[in-house]
A and B are shown apart, each in its own frame.
Chain A
Amino acid sequence: MELSSLTAVEIVQGIQSRVFTCKDVVKACLKTIYEKESSLHAMLFVADEGALKRADEIDAAAQAGQDLGPLMGVPVIVKDNICTKDMPTTCASRILENWTPPYDATVVKSLLNAGAVILGKANCDEFAMGGSTENSAFGPTMNPWDVSRVPGGSSGGSAAAVAAGYAPISLGSDTGGSIRQPASFCGIYGMKPTYGQVSRYGLVAFASSLDQIGPFARTAEDMKLALSVICGFDCHDSTSEKRPAPQFTFNDAPLAGKKIGILSRLVAGKLSADLQSCMDVQIEKCRQNGAEIVEVALPKALEYGLACYYILAPAEASSNLARYDGVRYGMAYKDAHSLLELYVKTRAAGFGPEVKRRILTGTYVLSSGFYDAYYLTAQKVRKVIKQEFASAFEQVDAILLPTSPTPAFKIGAMSSPLEMYMADVFTIPINLAGLPGISYNAGFNDEGLPLGMQLIGPRWSDAEILDMAAYLGKETEGRIAEGGIR
C-alpha cells in the first residue's frame, strides 16, 4: 500500500485504528514530494521537520485514544498566499521573499484544530495574478499529467500537488477561477465556495470583493471533509456570514428531478473539440440520471464578464497592494534617500511584470477623470451580471459548463497577457456574482489530459453542487497523475 496515495478519509481511519502512524503517512508524502518535485516545482516551502514533529504529537494522541478531529493526521498543503505562522508566506513574489507572518490564517487554524498536518506551501502566480502559475517569481509549476504543460493557475501548485499525490487535500484561493481552472487542468476537484462561506482572514488580499479560499481534493469525500472544516463564521472577516454550517451529504440520485442549466448556444465555438464532446456527454449523463436540461441565457456574463473583471480586480489590487512599501515588512530598497524613493524603488524591484501591469491598470481606472468611464461602468456591468444569474437561478437548480475552454496548454503558449485573460471566460462571472462553483474531472482527452466541467449554483448551494459534482465525477476520481513525470 502506497501511503501517499491514500485519501484523507483512509488516512484518518488508518491512524485512528492504528493500522499505520501519522509519521508513516507524512514520511511517505515527503518521499513523494522529493521524488517528483524536480519535475513539478509545485512547492515553495516544504515543512519537513515541522510536519514530522507534528506527526509525533498526533501519534501520541492516537496512542492515548484521543480523537483530534476530522482531519486527524491528514497532510494538507496550503497556497503560499495564505498566512502560516511558522512558515514563509511569499505569495510567489520577491517583495515577500523572506516574510514569515506573525499569525495563522483562520483556515490554517481550522485545519490545525481539526488535526491536520501542514506539509508546506504551494507555488502560485505572483499575488494570485495569472492562470498558469508561470507568473511565480520563483519559476513555474509543471502539470503532473504532462510536464510540458501548465497546471493552471493561479493555485497551480496546490492543484498539481494533490494530483501528484503530495497530499490528499490542499487549499487555494479563487478570485476569477484560480481554484477551478487548475483543478480542471490537473484532473481533480476544486471548489470556490459562496462568497462569505469561508473566512479570508489571513489570505493575502488581491481583490477583496472577489477573493475566496477553497479546497482541492482527488475525491468528493475528501472535498466534503475539507469543506466541513473550513466553512463557518469568523468575526475577523467582515464578509463572513453567520449562518448554519452547510450540511455536506451525498445522495444516491442527486440529479433526479433537478433542472440543470446549460449554455450550449453561448459556448458554441468557444471550446476545443475535446471539451465540446466532453460537455455533450456530461449533459447526456445529467439527462439519463433524471435531470431536466434547460437552456439558460447569460449573454452579458459571458460577453462582458472579462472586461468587467479586468477593470474591477486590478482596481482593488492596486489598492490592496499599496501596503508593500518597504517599511513594515518584505523587501526594502537599501539606498533610498527619501521615503518616496524607498516606495517607488522597492516596488519596482519587488513586483513582477504581471503584478505591475495590474497595479498600473487599477491605478489608471481609478484615477481622476477616468473613474466613471471604467470603474463605475464596470460596477454597473457587475450588477447586470449578478441579475442575469439571479434570473437564471429562477429557472434552474445549477448550471453546467466547462471550467475552461481548453485542457491544459503548453508552458509559454500564451503570447500576450490579454490572451491569457481570455482563458478565464467561464470562471470569472461566478466571482462577480459571489456564487459557488466547483470543477470536477469529467474524463481525459486522447492525449491523456484531464477535462474539467464546472457546476455553478445559487448562493449557499455549496452542499448541493458538491453532491452533484461528486456523482458526475465519481467514475474518474481518485487517480494520481503519473503521466508526464520523469
Chain B
Amino acid sequence: MPRLSAEEVIKVGKLARLDIAPEELDSLATHFNDILAYFSKLEELDLSAVDPFTMEDTQPIRLRDDEVAAYDNRDGILDQSPSRDGDFIRVPKIGGDK
C-alpha cells in the first residue's frame, strides 16, 4: 500500500471540499498512513471468487411511488438557511476558482 505525502493529503482534502489547515496536516497525514497500513490486512484474503456485497444481499430494494404532496412547513426549511433572501438562498459567486 502507498504512503501518502502531505501534498496528497491536501489533494484529498480538495476532493472532499475540506480546507486543511497547516497545523492539522501532520496529524491527518499520520492517521491516514496508519489506517491505510491497517487496511492492507485485507490483502491476506483471496477474494477472487467473491462477488461484492450489495444492499440486495440483505433485502430487496423497494421504491415508493413518486407522489406529489403539499408540504406544510416550507418556511421551516427556508428559515434554516444562513442566507435566506425571500424565497431564495443567496450564495457567493459560482466559478472562477482555480
Q: Mark A271-289 against chain B: 1 for CB-CB distance below 8 A, else 0.
A: 0000000000000000000
- Among residues of B, the one whose C-beta sits closest to the C-beta of A99 is B80
Number of residues in A with C-beta < 8 Å to the partner? 70
In the assembled complex, A127 has its CB within 8 A of some CB on chain B: no
Given A327-B81, A357-B28, A416-B34, A351 and B18 touching (CB < 8 A)?
yes
Q: How many A-B residue pairs have CB under 8 A?
A: 166
In the assembled complex, B82 has its CB within 8 A of some CB on chain A: yes
In the assembled complex, A326 has its CB within 8 A of some CB on chain B: yes
Chain A residues with CB under 8 A of B61: 238
Given A360-B18, A361-B35, A416-B34, A307 and B53 touching (CB < 8 A)?
no
- Among residues of A, the one whose C-beta sits closest to the C-beta of B55 is A209
Residue contact B51 to A363, C-beta cutoff 8 Å: no
- Among residues of B, the one whose C-beta sits closest to the C-beta of A459 is B58
Chain B residues with CB under 8 A of A238: 61-64
B51 to nearest A CB, angstroms? 6
Residues 98-115 of A contacting B (Cβ, < 8 Å): 99-100, 102-103
In the assembled complex, A47 has its CB within 8 A of some CB on chain B: no
Residue contact B31 to A196, C-beta cutoff 8 Å: no
A450 to nearest B CB, angstroms? 29
In the assembled complex, A310 has its CB within 8 A of some CB on chain B: yes
Main secondary structure of the interface of A (DSSP, over half): helix
In the assembled complex, A1 has its CB within 8 A of some CB on chain B: no
Most chain A beta-carbon neighbours within 10 Å: one of B13, B15, B18, B61: B18
Q: Which of A102, A239, A304, A339 contacts B80 (CB 8 A)?
A: A102
Chain A residues with CB under 8 A of B20: 348, 356
Residues 54-84 of B contacting A (Cβ, < 8 Å): 54-55, 57-59, 61-64, 73, 76-77, 80-83
Per the bound structure, the CA–CA distance linking A380 and B15 in Å amounts to 25
Given A307-B42, A360-B9, A363-B12, A102 and B18 touching (CB < 8 A)?
no
Per the bound structure, the CA–CA distance linking A386 and B24 in Å amounts to 37
In the assembled complex, B19 has its CB within 8 A of some CB on chain A: yes
Given A338-B93, A356-B18, A331 and B82 touching (CB < 8 A)?
yes
Chain A residues with CB under 8 A of B4: 364
In the assembled complex, B86 has its CB within 8 A of some CB on chain A: no
Residue contact A307 to B39, C-beta cutoff 8 Å: yes
Residue contact A338 to B19, C-beta cutoff 8 Å: no
In the assembled complex, B6 has its CB within 8 A of some CB on chain A: no
Per the bound structure, the CA–CA distance linking A194 and B95 in Å amounts to 45
Per the bound structure, the CA–CA distance linking A100 and B15 in Å amounts to 29
Residue contact B47 to A380, C-beta cutoff 8 Å: yes
Binds B, one of A9-17, A69-77, A214-222, A370-378: A370-378
Residue contact B45 to A381, C-beta cutoff 8 Å: yes
In the assembled complex, A347 has its CB within 8 A of some CB on chain B: yes
Chain B residues with CB under 8 A of A340: 17, 97
In the assembled complex, A19 has its CB within 8 A of some CB on chain B: no
Residue contact A376 to B9, C-beta cutoff 8 Å: no
Residue contact B55 to A338, C-beta cutoff 8 Å: no
Given A100-B80, A376-B52, A342 and B42 touching (CB < 8 A)?
no
- Among residues of B, the one whose C-beta sits closest to the C-beta of A310 is B35
Per the bound structure, the CA–CA distance linking A379 and B54 in Å amounts to 8
In the assembled complex, A241 has its CB within 8 A of some CB on chain B: yes
- Among residues of A, the one whose C-beta sits closest to the C-beta of B63 is A238
Chain A residues with CB under 8 A of B13: 344, 360
Per the bound structure, the CA–CA distance linking A308 and B93 in Å amounts to 40
Residue contact A329 to B80, C-beta cutoff 8 Å: yes
Residue contact A341 to B31, C-beta cutoff 8 Å: no
Residues 326-350 of A contacting B (Cβ, < 8 Å): 326-332, 336-345, 347-348
Residue contact B18 to A344, C-beta cutoff 8 Å: yes
For this complex, 5 residue pairs linking A to B, each with C-beta atoms less than 8 Å apart, are A337-B93, A348-B21, A360-B12, A360-B28, A362-B16
Other A-B pairs, 9, CB within 8 Å; known A376-B52, A417-B35: A100-B80, A310-B38, A310-B39, A338-B92, A353-B24, A356-B28, A360-B28, A363-B12, A380-B50
Which B residues fall within an 8 A CB radius of A?
Answer: 1, 4, 9, 12-21, 24, 27-28, 31-32, 34-35, 38-39, 41-42, 45, 47, 50-55, 57-59, 61-64, 73, 76-77, 80-83, 89, 91-97
Which A residues fall within an 8 A CB radius of B?
Answer: 99-100, 102-103, 195-196, 209, 235, 238-239, 241, 300, 303-304, 306-308, 310-311, 318, 322, 325-332, 336-345, 347-348, 351, 353, 356-357, 359-365, 367, 373-374, 376-384, 386, 416-418, 434, 459
Q: Which 9 residue pairs are nearest across A and B when measured between Cβ atoms? A: A102-B76, A379-B52, A332-B82, A348-B19, A329-B80, A382-B53, A363-B16, A344-B19, A383-B53
